A and B are shown apart, each in its own frame.
Chain A
Amino acid sequence: MKIYLSLLITFVFGTSLLAQRTYTAELSVAVDEVKSIIVNQSQLNVELVFDDYWTLVQGQRIDQSNHIEVTSTNEYEIKVYATSDLIGSTTTIPIDKVRVVPVPGEYGFGSNQVNYSSVQLSTQEQAIVSSNHGDVLRSFSIAYEVSGLESFEDLPSGVYSTTITYSIVSK
């Protein structure tokens, strides 16, 4: 006598069983080095007016509040240069008569120590701001100073102009 026992057990593994209670995803943040500098669009033309004796003697200064805005992911320097001397219709004024004085701006998130340097403008790049850290956003105010122009009393009246360029670079 033989006994046969055949038990067919079928497990139905549908997609439902493949479903998981835990699932993973890879999350990435692609970080690049970023540097940007913007000159305040309402201050693209800066005028120092010498229209009386005292300004000629004492000089003139104009403050441009929040003149520059920077973002930098790492340490940086802000540099400045002039394209030329101040060019008038018939003569020029040496550009080094203009002094650029950087001071902290009024907004921004930066709390790091930043070093400021006043410079007499040149056609060569010079650093006016130096930071050992990045800044998400920081503004700088700039004062433009021209010392007394007694020696230029004989200059013809008129407008003397040049273009000043700011740049941000890694240190």
Chain B
Amino acid sequence: MLMIVSSAVRGQIGSAEAQVNLSLAQVMSVEVGHNSVVIPMDLPVHFQNGNSSGELINHLQVNSILPYFLRVRAEESTFSLDGMVTPLPVSVIRIDATVNSGTGVTTATPLYLSASSGDVLQSTANEVSQSFNVSYSIPQAQTSSFLNREPGVYTTTVIYTIVPQ
């Protein structure tokens, strides 16, 4: 905010009070409902058929007064294990979003996780407030990437960003 105190103000005698209430409306936001998501790979069927986090209800909450893209990316291109970088690519993870509730027409596009941003949602509507269910999965075609790996918890940080169209 720029405050210009002009000579006119200085010329006032007495006191003057003004109350300026600046209330900023929510313009565009995204919130993730589950801060930690785990996909177990500890049964033969997980490797034979693939596995997923299951559908995470209301995983994404989006508010926007503008048409938007919701972009997702991983912090790194590969998973970490005990804080150490591994060769296991994050691209084995598929993200599927479906509308749970809210107004506005939104297109959800399944995509594989990457260190580059991809559009998982886009909406051409104005004034939307929506929630989405999300499933993180390892499809059958990707399970062989987990062969010959050290057992452990492989982690990555998933970053969602909402941007105007």
Chain A residues close to B by CB (< 8 Å): 1, 3-12, 14, 16-17, 19-34, 36, 71, 73-75, 109, 133-137
Q: How far is the CA of A5 from the CA of B7 in the complex (A)?
A: 12
Residue of A9, A14, A29, A33 most packed against chain B (CB within 10 A):
A29
Residues of A within 8 A of B157 (CB): 24-27
Check if A21 sits within 8 Å of B144, measured CB to CB: no
| B138 CB–A CB distance under 8 Å | yes
Quick one: given A1-B13, A9-B22, A26-B35, are A31 and B29 in contact (CB under 8 Å)? no
Check if A8 sits within 8 Å of B47, measured CB to CB: no
Check if B158 sits within 8 Å of A24, measured CB to CB: yes
Q: Is the interface on chain B under 10, 10 to 19, 20 to 34, or 35 or more residues?
A: 35 or more
Check if B12 sits within 8 Å of A32, measured CB to CB: no
Determine the main DSSP class of A at the interface with B.
Answer: strand
Q: How far is the CA of A74 from the CA of B31 in the complex (A)?
A: 39
Quick one: given A12-B21, A20-B30, A34-B43, are A5 and B9 in contact (CB under 8 Å)? yes
Check if A6 sits within 8 Å of B161, measured CB to CB: no
Check if B37 sits within 8 Å of A10, measured CB to CB: no
| B155 CB–A CB distance under 8 Å | yes
Determine the main DSSP class of B at the interface with A.
Answer: strand
Quick one: given A14-B23, A16-B26, A31-B152, are A21 and B163 in contact (CB under 8 Å)? yes
- Chain A to chain B contacts (Cβ below 8 Å), 11 pairs: A4-B14, A17-B26, A27-B37, A27-B136, A27-B156, A28-B39, A28-B154, A29-B79, A30-B153, A32-B41, A34-B42
| B84 CB–A CB distance under 8 Å | no
Quick one: given A29-B138, A30-B39, are A22 and B154 in contact (CB under 8 Å)? no
Which chain B residues in 124-165 approach chain A with CB under 8 Å? 136, 138, 143-144, 146-149, 151-163
Residues of A within 8 A of B146 (CB): 29, 31, 73
| B25 CB–A CB distance under 8 Å | yes
Quick one: given A16-B26, A25-B157, A26-B155, are A10 and B19 in contact (CB under 8 Å)? yes
Check if A21 sits within 8 Å of B28, measured CB to CB: yes
Residues of A within 8 A of B44 (CB): 34, 36, 71
Check if B36 sits within 8 Å of A25, measured CB to CB: yes
Check if B39 sits within 8 Å of A22, measured CB to CB: no
The 9 closest A-B pairs by CB, nearest first: A19-B29, A16-B26, A134-B147, A4-B15, A32-B42, A71-B44, A36-B44, A12-B23, A23-B32
| B2 CB–A CB distance under 8 Å | no
Check if A28 sits within 8 Å of B158, measured CB to CB: no
Check if B42 sits within 8 Å of A30, measured CB to CB: yes
The contact of A19 among B21, B22, B31, B46, by CB within 8 Å, is B31
Shortest C-beta distance, B72 to chain A (Å), equals 10
Check if A8 sits within 8 Å of B152, measured CB to CB: no
Residues of A within 8 A of B162 (CB): 21-22
Q: How far is the CA of A136 from the CA of B148 in the complex (A)?
A: 10
Check if B20 sits within 8 Å of A10, measured CB to CB: yes
Shortest C-beta distance, A110 to chain B (Å), equals 9
Q: How far is the CA of A5 from the CA of B113 in the complex (A)?
A: 57
Residues of A within 8 A of B42 (CB): 30-32, 34
